[in-house]
Amino acid sequence: MAIVYILYSKKMDRYYTGSCLDLEIRMIEHRDRTFKDSYTSKADDWELVFSIENLSYESARKVEAHIKKMKSKKYIENIKMYPELREKLVRRFQ
Domain range list for the chain: 2-92
List the pLDDT tens digit at each of the 94 positions of the chain. 999 999 999 999 999 999 999 999 999 999 888 888 999 999 989 999 999 999 999 999 999 999 999 999 999 999 999 999 999 999 999 8
Q: What is residue 66's predicted lDDT score, i.e. its pLDDT?
A: 97
Q: What is residue 36's predicted lDDT score, i.e. its pLDDT?
A: 87
Q: Which CATH architecture has domain 2-92?
A: 3-Layer(aba) Sandwich (3.40)
The Cβ of residue 41 has, within 10 Å, a number of other Cβ atoms equal to 13
Q: What is residue 34's predicted lDDT score, i.e. its pLDDT?
A: 87
Task: Classify residue 22 as left (phi > 0), alpha (psi -120 to 50) or beta.
Answer: beta
